[in-house]
Amino acid sequence: MDNLQKKYGFWTATAMVVGIVIGSGVFFKADDVLKAAGGDLPTALLAWLIGGAIMVVTAYVFSKIATRIEKVNGLVDYFEEAYGEKAGYMVGWFMTFIYYPTLVAVLAWVSANYTVGLVGMKDMLWPLSFVYLTVFFLLNYYSPVLAGKWQVSSTIIKLIPLGLVAVVGGLAGLSSGQTMQNFMQTASEISGSGGGLAVATLSTAFAYEGWIIATVINAELKDAKKTLPRALVVGTIAVMTIYMLYYLGISGVLTNDQVLAEGDAAPVRVIEMIFGNVGGTLLTVFVIISCLGTLNGLIMGSARGMFSIASRDLGPKASLFKQVNPVTNSTSWSAIIGYFLSCFWLVVWYGNFHGWWGQFMDVSELPIAFLYVIYISIYIWVMKTFTDLGPISRYLCPLLAGCGSVYIIWGAIQKDMFIHFLILFLLIQGAGAMLMNSSKK
């Protein structure tokens, strides 16, 4: 860690936060948030605001932790520092077996969904989801350097569709009065039956997820104790602002009922209505690249999951999973297990759309709610041990972040199949606990 140069400043760190967080969620969760809000635009916007505020205060608390624990495994290291080796291992097991592969599966599907919408081959949705998942795992397996370059390039492209929809749709809505009409008129389809503000806020949590990954560069920041907290707060506020302007842009062109009817295609429809089919096609291409960029970032994490556990000499076959390929410098065996776990969760996601489970097990949102349970434990640790912080940083911010976590968890409890997912979570974590010391025996 001492060899890492202090090479990044405030703007680089802020750009990293914005680039990591902005991905696919804002494109395919817009209609979900409105639906959960019962078709009511003010409630939907409030959900985006609450979700964003929770992200900002949570990021601030974690920035205080990151400046004093200069390691590069983020949440797993923090939890290990707070509650010991076994606790850190269990968080690592959760991230490896549930968190990363569920989101990888959903992102592969989202990327394929926009692609088949562009080329008009609906029958190819699930095969293409599998192809995207496989191709980006192979990219991370054989050329992690190229995978990193793709990550940087796709980050820049992400802001183009959001900016277009926000500016063009926002101006159109102000001139036509469509925005004001949406504020006054609830969608007729689902009025009063969406699930409520807490469920809508949970839907925004997917779009706001990812900022914590930015804490891994703290050792490379100039004056990290000041730079990282500022970058996390400014970056997350910027994301929240961009999302709300984008959402208003959609509402400036489409009625609430049209947003629900268009579903994931709503932003493309907005640009089509203003610029024609060519504009809509170009926007779809940008959205696909953005989604594939997020997919690649999650696969970068998933490919390193078992490696982070095995590097502590914990879990099954640690000597195997901590191997690094000397030619490609990739975590080969760890990537392979990450791939098969992601395939498993893609099958679970497929089952949702084909009635296998009877209800919809939303693995795009439920794992994130379980992550917020882990966050609460971290806040308690901060309040107990960070005695050098002032009362706002030590008590008020962790308390507010904890309240936000409880609110998101409350939204998750109201989701279909929450109990089923909880049982699956306990089974997976139980298996992890049993296998924790298997390498040492």
| Number of C-beta neighbours around residue 388 at 10 A | 8
**Per the structure block, which two tokens stand in for 307?**
């490696």
The CA-atom distances, in angstroms, between 105 and each of 75, 95, 122, 140, 355 are 22, 14, 18, 16, 18
Q: Is 2 within the bounds of a domain?
A: no
Rounded mean pLDDT of 56-66? 88
**Per the structure block, which two tokens stand in for 19?**
């680039």
Domain of residue 106, residue span: 10-435
427 sits in which H/E element = helix 418-435
Identify the band that residue 275 occupies on the pLDDT scale cut at 50, 70 and 90. confident
| Sign of the alpha-carbon torsion through 39, 164, 368, 288 | positive
Angle at 129 between CA 103 and CA 259, to 5 degrees: 75
Rounded mean pLDDT of 265-278? 84
Q: Is 332 within the bounds of a domain?
A: yes
Contact 293, 150 (CB under 8 A): yes
**Per the structure block, which two tokens stand in for 402?**
């904890």
CA distance 432 to 99: 14
The CA-atom distances, in angstroms, between 403 and each of 376, 379, 434 are 9, 11, 33
Q: Is 3 within the bounds of a domain?
A: no
Q: Is 225 within the bounds of a domain?
A: yes
Contact 93, 274 (CB under 8 A): no
pTM: 0.84
Q: Is 71 within the bounds of a domain?
A: yes
Query: Any idea how long the chain is?
Result: 441
Greater confidence (98 vs 286) lies with: 98
Rounded mean pLDDT of 227-251? 88
**Per the structure block, which two tokens stand in for 184?**
């006054």
CA distance 428 to 275: 49
CA distance 321 to 344: 19
CATH number at residue 236: 1.20.1740.10
Contact 221, 13 (CB under 8 A): yes
Identify the band that residue 1 occupies on the pLDDT scale cut at 50, 70 and 90. very low
Contact 67, 228 (CB under 8 A): yes
Q: Provide the pLDDT for residue 19.
A: 74
Q: Provide the pLDDT for residue 218.
A: 62
CA distance 71 to 399: 25
Q: Is 5 within the bounds of a domain?
A: no
Rounded mean pLDDT of 38-56? 91
Amino acid at the residue 200: A
Count of alpha carbons within 13 angstroms of residue 135, beta-carbon side: 13
Dump pLDDT digits (tens) for 309-364.
888 888 898 888 888 877 776 778 888 999 999 999 999 999 999 999 999 999 98
Q: Is 100 within the bounds of a domain?
A: yes
Q: Is 271 within the bounds of a domain?
A: yes
Instruction: Name the one residue in this structure whose structure tokens are 């434990």.
Output: 377
Radius of gyration of the chain (CA): 21
Please state the domain count of the chain. 1
